[in-house]
Amino acid sequence: MIKLMPQEELAPGNVKVTRWDWINLALEVLIADGVESVRILPLGERLGVSRSSFYHYFESRQDLLDRLLEHWRDTNTKAIVERAARPADSIVRAVANVFECWADESLFDPRFDFAVREWARRSADVRDVIDAADDERLGAIRDMYLRHGYDEEDAFIRARVLYYMQIGYYTLDVKEQLETRLGHLAAYLRSFTGQEPSEADVAHFSAFAIRTQNTKPIIRRK
Q: Per the confidence metrics, is the pTM higher than 0.85? A: yes
Flag whether 43 is in a domain.
no
Flag whether 15 is in a domain.
no
Residue 105, domain extent: 66-215
- The number of folded domains in the chain is 1
Name the residue type at position 100. E
Which pLDDT does position 157 carry in this prediction?
Answer: 98
Flag whether 5 is in a domain.
no
- In the predicted structure, residue 217 carries a pLDDT above the cut 50: no
For residue range 158-181, list pLDDT tens digits in order: 999 999 999 998 888 888 899 999
Flag whether 40 is in a domain.
no
- Measure the CA–CA gap between 157 and 86, rounded to whole angstroms: 20
- Measure the CA–CA gap between 131 and 197, rounded to whole angstroms: 32
Flag whether 142 is in a domain.
yes
- Measure the CA–CA gap between 35 and 26, rounded to whole angstroms: 9
Neighbours of 70 (CB within 10 A): 12
Flag whether 49 is in a domain.
no
Flag whether 50 is in a domain.
no
Flag whether 131 is in a domain.
yes
Which pLDDT does position 221 carry in this prediction?
Answer: 33
Per-chain mean pLDDT for the chain:
90
| DSSP secondary structure letters along the chain | --------PPPTT-TT--HHHHHHHHHHHHHHH-GGG--HHHHHHHHT--HHHHHHH-SSHHHHHHHHHHHHIIIIIHHHHHHHHS--SSHHHHHHHHHHHHH-TTT--HHHHHHHHHHHTT-HHHHHHHHHHHHHHHHHHHHHHHHTT--HHHHHHHHHHHHHHHHHHHHTT----HHHHHHTHHHHHHHHHSSPPPHHHHHHHHHHHHHHHHH--SS---
For residue range 49-88, list pLDDT tens digits in order: 988 999 999 999 999 999 999 999 999 999 999 999 999 9
Which pLDDT does position 1 carry in this prediction?
Answer: 52
